[in-house]
Structure 1
């Protein structure tokens, strides 16, 4: 008998986002999955939402008076017919295989309430930062302790039976997704994977005006779980989560006030003093310093420097001793210990992906990557005949080879057209043997694409005890000369003092400007990379 293809309902609530709506609808129409319906719920819009929706005969258009996002989604549930449901905000969009990927996961695990994949942040300047969802062993406890790690609602597909028991809480004006995730994972299993499903549009906005409300909403949602906690682990996760939300939103507010040209806000100062006194006092000190600095600069210093420059005496100068404004960097601990994943994405990943993008023409034929094949899939589309994965851990079901790269006799000689070895060599004590293995298993003419840390924090997680090395561009040049002597190679290096400082403090990629990222100073190498080609003859 032919396999039934379940109907998938994509519900798009829209309130005055007509300017984005067409892109959202077309991302659904362009899906590789065929059996779908699109329901646009117009939540009392006064813009072009109705007109945009009417251009698409495939769309089921539903109008309601403005009742809020939660009510609009609940309306979409009632109007839908699908076995599976997706909620796509009108300013976001799905990737072409999103429905196919998530449907396959739910069909394989029919008892799961929902499946959640990964997504990317798209900023106003078109910067794209991929966010890889962590795979939590206990999703409920992780949501308690670490907040809404699942995050983007469009990367989630729900089984319809879920909404016989749960609906969106219409009393919430934010964090309604977090509330729903907590309720569901408390009682039912869910599926998680790390494939990219959707793009999340980040709008520029006055963050300082929204954060107090967002924090209050997050803590309110979390507090609703307090009476239902059943174990010491859940109680501890709850306490950790309360601290997490305070630290997260106070950190965001402090950053927006101190690191951006934001006007003084008495309300923000009082909020920080009440929720995070250390950040509140830091902001107060920053305001005092900024006022004094402006006074001095507008009088004596600016006039003196102007006269010296006019006389040709002063061309470029560093701040004098005692004049350096350290701001947020004047603390002994980083802003984040997660390499920037919790602040929009790691800075070093920008350089890694820039390097791989430029070398994408070499990612073809049979390709081997470490732990997963994310970069093989991303940069080798249409060119890769076979994708292999090497992992030292035997529980990686996707790995085609298990073993240590420094001693891998089970991998045959002259096998691969391309090796993608990113951020791995520093975790191997005998790194020379690992590079010799790379040379051995490459086909003649095959290409090694290698990235290594230069200036970097050390992982505080499972890699802490095996983080052995950092590599300069000069060290890589010597190594490649020894191992790829008969072939050819080029060494690329990225970074500068500003980027290195931001990376060490745990700042995220959106917090660093493109002009900073693209300036290179060889004295501060954050990431170094090698493209090496094995000699074309076996003689």
Structure 2
């Protein structure tokens, strides 16, 4: 008789700060997993509301850890240090996991030992009206560094990660709390982790006024800072991969300039774009045209064009994605 394989334990780490409104929904989505071996860890990042009482109400079904407020990167690292599972998954306190996520991803990793990370699709839903959309993003497998360098297409709730790979990647940077997920995944990939994509919808991201993704200027500034740090720290590895480090940073500088223009800070944004496009990088001509259009017509017409694009494209995505 063949030896029966023991299911690997999955540790789901939820970083929570003043999350009393949503934390029960997040925890319930973890406890409702069809996978049999799940450890749910909530790291309370110094909450001053009722978060602690709600989580402690689950008793032994949830491990509650408290830390003085140090932001979510530190909370996730704390959760990883305390996790007992061979596989790690992350969830924000206002978001949800699909019931089959851990079962399907754990089975995928068991069948594919060549991959260190399994990732899949996520949908976004509006907390106010329930409307939703599922972004159609790049979905490469294997060594994904070349794709990941130019933007994050993996939402942090999506991956299931082998614990040893997560530790090799160095965890989250405690000084980075916007685009910290992209920074973490980039370092994970640059450390040699291989990613495998599953065409499944495995998580739901809640859109509400408290989201950090709501402040686009701060988010894209943070993206540029991450790109600058990666370019500096991993310069030798990027050179080995034939990546133009100056062009990489220039791309993200131009992208930040674009967001500044759309936010009404036209002169500042155009100056960043003009400086960036002196260096060759992918899609450079688009930014050249965008900068010229901003100078000729101002921010208003570009904002209207962006809003039209969002309505049309996201409307199509919502129709494909179905209800949240």
TM range, smaller chain: 0.7 to 0.9
Q: CA deviation at 1:270?
A: 4.7
Structure 2 residue runs of 5 or longer lacking an equivalent are 275-287
* TM-score scaled by length of structure 2: 0.79
In 1: Cα distance, 2:63 partner to 2:112 partner = 29
- Whether contact under 8 Å (1:119, 1:196) holds in the other structure is yes
In 1: Cα distance, 2:184 partner to 2:102 partner = 21
Q: CA deviation at 1:174?
A: 1.9
Instruction: Map residues 52-71 of structure 1 onto 2, 5 A cutoff.
Output: 52-57=54-59, 58-71=61-74
Determine which structure has greater relative contact order: mean sequence separation of CA pairs < 8 Å that are 6+ residues apart, divided by chain length.
2
In 2: Cα distance, 1:42 partner to 1:91 partner = 13
Which structure: larger Rg? 1
Matching residue within 95, 98, 105 for 2:101: 98
Q: CA deviation at 1:183?
A: 1.9
Counterpart position of 2:270: 273
The question of 1:176 aligning with 2:173 is answered no
Return 176-185 or 244-253, whichever deviates more: 244-253
- Whether contact under 8 Å (1:129, 1:345) holds in the other structure is no
* Cα gap change, 1:108 to 1:78, in 2 (>3 Å): same
Instruction: Map residues 15-34 of structure 1 onto 2, 5 A cutoff.
Output: 15-34=17-36
Counterpart position of 1:369: none
In 2: Cα distance, 1:7 partner to 1:281 partner = 54
- Whether contact under 8 Å (2:117, 2:162) holds in the other structure is yes
Matching residue within 323, 328, 342 for 2:302: 328
The question of 1:123 aligning with 2:126 is answered yes
* Cα gap change, 1:286 to 1:72, in 2 (>3 Å): same
Matching residue within 5, 8, 12 for 1:6: 8
In 1: Cα distance, 2:31 partner to 2:14 partner = 13
Q: CA deviation at 1:46?
A: 1.1
How many residue pairs match? The answer is 298
Counterpart position of 2:278: none
* Cα gap change, 1:240 to 1:100, in 2 (>3 Å): farther
Matched residue SS, 1:112:
coil
Counterpart position of 1:219: 227
Matched residue SS, 2:157:
helix
In 2: Cα distance, 1:113 partner to 1:170 partner = 23
Matching residue within 39, 47, 50 for 1:48: 50
Matched residue SS, 1:154:
coil
Counterpart position of 2:204: 199
- Whether contact under 8 Å (1:269, 1:280) holds in the other structure is no
Matching residue within 126, 140, 165 for 1:136: 140
Counterpart position of 2:82: 79
Structure 1 residue runs of 5 or longer lacking an equivalent are 258-267, 291-326, 358-377, 379-539
* Cα gap change, 1:351 to 1:227, in 2 (>3 Å): closer
Q: CA deviation at 1:61?
A: 0.3
Larger helix share, 1 or 2: 2
- Whether contact under 8 Å (1:119, 1:132) holds in the other structure is no
In 1: Cα distance, 2:132 partner to 2:88 partner = 26
- Whether contact under 8 Å (1:121, 1:130) holds in the other structure is yes
- Whether contact under 8 Å (1:119, 1:198) holds in the other structure is yes
Q: What value does the CA root-mean-square deviation take over the aligned residues? A: 3.3
